[in-house]
A and B are shown apart, each in its own frame.
Chain A
């Protein structure tokens, strides 16, 4: 009886340990879903998101019609420049199509890739924890640990920098 109980506990502990290891290898099914996607960039070139999986990634969901999104993008662009050397990349996934984001990037260029998520964008955002259909919506991904922070709405760059430094160090 006592031995059986001990066996059960050990089995559970083992299961938990395997779960943690699994998480380390494939940090999060949501993140896995993100890196399985290929989206066209502002020039219409298909980009596999997996190419950035070894970086600290800030996924920023936005739309050309969304005022707070447009407001924060220049700040994100600056943030990108500042942290490029520290293996950080911002990915702007729009709910628009290629034509819309290419038009947008001509008048308001940013220093990070813009991707046309079109209909997929909101589904992807939801997979990554956006249960409110909100925009902008950003997710910070640690290459080892998976999603560490999420940001609903207009991002606070100071907070973001602090969070990124935590991961980078």
Chain B
């Protein structure tokens, strides 16, 4: 009897669940939860930079354009920039080519703070991905509290870190060091050996210790390096802001700077000497000889002065270096590059110091050879500068419109731009400033615009191009309107025809960089979108 009751009870209880059993049977073998499929860890590198590490499970992927970071509104800080790797192209039958991440990747988030950086920020991250099994996840939202390290890294440090990350700064600095070593082999350095020897032996007239001698020559070389670094910084500031843009963008200026390089090369070949006026140089030599030897400060000052004395001799390669730095418009780079250049130049002096004045290198035909080598380098620079202009003069007649890899519509003036923008309502618009003589524009055309990812991203945008080769009044007005001094410059407009200032491109960008810019352009619309899944 009891057993009978139990049976009834048993059936009653399992009946409702009998159907539920089929639930699990229908689900595909194993579906990861969103947090198993995609993991996000964010850490602060310094007060300005966060690294967001995404872990993507095999067979799953995240959409590049659907990754978004915001700071909680209560923070007096904002996100200046988010840099993502370019991603891989995924062919999607519905959306065409999409940029996705199948593998783990890092995003770099640059922060900006009003006032001091806070100790902690609250980051709102959202991302969305799918599984190759034919399943997507609704946008995932994460709120993360991130402690920022003590406010040590200013934006300058941050910039250096970034350059170092790119490997650029080290490469350039190493190049300048090698350049300096090369310069040390020229006869220019020769007058410095007796000067330094004099300092080392100094007033004491008895041989100093090896360490003391080395320290003295170190101080001397540092003095030299500091004055070069100052020259580098000055070059970056002055050239950068005044000369570089016109230098870059005008065929006459390009020709002129190429001519300077040729003149410098000729001086390297020994056709003539570049030097300061003799009176000025003598005065400098006299002043420097009045500084007492034997002291580090004296040696340092002596080094700084020697750099000035010597600079006419190395003027040619130095001017080349300064021109280069001027174009880069980078103060940190300018200072660092010329500093290491001087250290490179001073390396033999350090050896001299270490030997306590015992050895002096002999001059010989190899010094002449080194100078000739630098002359050839200078000529190479000249050719490199004028090559694009010359090519255009030779191959295309000045009137024929140039053919771009992208289907640009030409825009002649502001009025034409306005009507083009009106016609393009509802679409993103890209306005590219181009000129036949613009080297960087050519680079854009030959690399960035040829990149299939870039072409794909621009497929649905209206592409306008202002050819400012002639630089006539219309061209100048058009460029002024967008605050450009000259091409290359790219301006974007949203589907309502409003300029997207944050995405302005001035100067060359690689395809990877340009894709990031394009994502910022298209992302400007997403910004208005509701936070949850509705985009």
Q: Which residues of A contact B (CB under 8 A)?
A: 5-6, 9-10, 12-13, 16-17, 19-20, 23, 63, 65-72, 95-97, 100, 118-119, 121-122, 129, 131-136, 145-154, 159, 163
Checking B13, B23, B137, B534 against A134 with a beta-carbon cut-off of 8 angstroms, the contacting residue is B137
* A20 and B12 within 8 A (CB): yes
Residues A16 and B130 in contact, CB atoms below 8 Å apart: no
B487 to chain A, nearest CB (A): 37
Looking at the complex, which one of A65, A136, A151 makes contact with B26 (CB distance below 8 Å)? Answer: A151
A132 and B130 in contact (CB under 8 A), knowing A16-B13, A20-B15, A96-B534?
Answer: no
Inter-chain CA distance A148–B16, complex, in Å, is: 11
Given the interface contacts A133-B140, A145-B19, A153-B135, does A65 sit within 8 Å of B535 by beta carbon? yes
* Residues on A with beta carbons closer than 8 Å to the beta carbon of B28: 152-153
For B533, the chain A residues whose CB sits under 8 A away are 63, 95-96, 119, 121-122
- Residue of B94, B136, B532 near A135 (CB, 8 A) is B136
Q: Which residue among B31, B32, B134, B137 has the maximum number of chain A CB atoms within 10 Å of its CB?
A: B134
- State the Cβ distance, B198 to closest chain A Cβ, in Å: 76
- Given A67-B92, A69-B136, A95-B138, does the pair A134, B31 have CB atoms closer than 8 Å? yes
Known interface pairs A20-B16, A65-B535. Does A129 touch B31 (Cβ–Cβ under 8 Å)? no
Cβ contact within 8 Å between A132 and B34: yes
Tell me the bound Cα distance from A19 to B93 in angstroms: 48
Q: Within the complex, what minimum Cβ distance (angstroms) separates A155 from chain B?
A: 9
Chain B residue, CB-CB nearest to A100: B534
Most chain B CB within 10 A, of A13, A71, A147, is at: A13
- Give 6 pairs: A residue, B residue, CB < 8 Å, sorted on A: A10-B5, A68-B134, A71-B134, A95-B534, A134-B31, A159-B26
Cβ contacts under 8 Å, B95 to chain A? 67
Among candidates B15, B33, B133, B136, residue contacting A66 with C-beta atoms closer than 8 Å: B136
- How many residues of chain B get a CB closer than 8 Å to chain A's CBs? 39
Check A135–B26 contact: CB distance below 8 A.
Answer: no
A150 and B8 CA atoms in complex are apart in Å by: 29
Residue ID in chain A nearest B27 by CB atoms = A152
| A66-B139 Cα distance, complex, nearest whole Å | 11
Q: Can you list, as one digit per residue, whether each of B509-535 has a CB less than 8 Å from chain A (1) or not (0)? A: 000000000000000000000101111
Within B23-66, the residues touching A (CB, 8 Å) are 23, 26-28, 31-34, 66
Task: Give bound CA distance, A6 to B33, whole Å.
Answer: 46
Chain A residues with CB under 8 Å of B9's CB are 9, 12-13, 16
Chain A residues with CB below 8 A from B131, complex form: 153
How long is the Cα–Cα vector from A124 to B405 in the complex, in angstroms? 49
Given known pairs A148-B19, A148-B22, the reply for A67 and B34 (CB within 8 Å) is no
Q: B133 near A154 (CB under 8 angstroms)? A: yes
Q: Select which of A10, A63, A146, A150 is within 8 A of B136 by beta carbon.
A: A63
Given A67-B93, A70-B94, A134-B136, answer yes or no on A119-B534 (Cβ-Cβ < 8 Å).
yes
A150 and B23 contact, CB distance less than 8 A: yes
| Nearest chain B residue, comparing its CB with the CB of A119 | B532
Which of A95, A133, A153 is within 8 Å of B133, CB to CB? A153
When chains A and B are docked, how far (Å) is the Cα of A133 from the Cα of B36? 12
With A16-B9, A67-B92 given, name 15 new contacts (CB 8 A).
Answer: A5-B2, A10-B5, A16-B12, A19-B16, A63-B136, A67-B130, A95-B533, A96-B533, A97-B534, A121-B533, A133-B140, A134-B135, A134-B138, A149-B26, A152-B28
| Contact for A23 among B16, B133, B136, B535, CB less than 8 A | B16
CB-defined contacts of A135 to chain B, threshold 8 Å: 135-138
- Report the Cα distance A97→B135, complex, angstroms: 21
Query: Which chain A residue lies CB-closest to B20?
Result: A147
A9 contacts across to B, CB distance below 8 A: 2, 5-6, 9
Residues of B close to A69: CB separation below 8 A? 136
- Residue of A at shortest CB range from B532? A119
Cα(A119)–Cα(B531), bound, Å:
10
A134 and B30 alpha carbons, distance in the complex (Å) = 13
Q: How far apart are the CA atoms of A148 and B92 in the complex, in Å?
A: 32
CA distance A135 to B23 in the complex (A): 17
Taking CB atoms and an 8 Å cut-off, the chain B residues in 383-411 that contact chain A are none
The 4 A-B pairs with the shortest beta carbon distances in the complex, nearest first, are: A154-B134, A153-B135, A16-B12, A68-B134
* Chain B contacts for A145, CB-based, 8 A: 19
| A71 close to B135 (CB less than 8 A) | no
Minimum Cβ distance to chain A for residue B127 (Å): 12
Q: Which residue of A lies closest to B33 (CB)?
A: A132
**Across the interface, which residues of B come within 8 angstroms of A97, CB to CB?**
530, 534
Min CB distance, B2 to chain A, in Å? 8
Nearest Cβ on chain A to B64's Cβ, whole angstroms: 13
Q: Report the Cα distance A69→B135, complex, angstroms.
A: 8
List chain B residues, Cβ under 8 A from A149: 22-23, 26
Residue in chain B with minimal CB distance to A118? B534
Chain A nearest CB, measured from B253 CB (Å): 49
Complex CA distance for A158 and B485, rounded to whole angstroms: 64
Please name all residues of chain A whose beta carbon is closer than 8 Å to the beta carbon of B137 when the two chains form the complex. 132-135
CA distance A163 to B19 in the complex (A): 12
Please give the distance in Å from B342's CB to the nearest CB on chain A: 57
A129 touches B23 (CB 8 A): yes
Among B13, B27, B93, contact of A150 (Cβ-Cβ < 8 Å): B27
Asked if A66 contacts B19 (CB within 8 A), the reply is no
Determine the distance from Cα of A13 to Cα of B15 in the docked complex, in whole angstroms: 12
Bound Cα distance A14, B112 (Å): 67
In whole angstroms, how far apart are the Cα atoms of A96 and B535 in the complex?
7
Residues of B contacting A16 in the complex (Cβ-Cβ under 8 angstroms): 9, 12-13
Q: How far is the CB of A120 from chain B (nearest CB, A)?
A: 10
Nearest-Cβ distance from residue B526 to partner chain A, whole angstroms: 11
Q: Quote the shortest CB–CB distance from A109 to chain B (angstroms).
A: 15
**Once the chains are docked, how many angstroms separate the CA of A27 from the CA of B163?**
64
Assuming the contacts A63-B136, A71-B94, A95-B138, asked whether A150 and B534 have C-beta atoms less than 8 A apart, the reply is no
Bound CA–CA A129/B130 (angstroms): 19
Q: How distant is B27 from chain A, measured CB to nearest CB, in Å?
A: 5
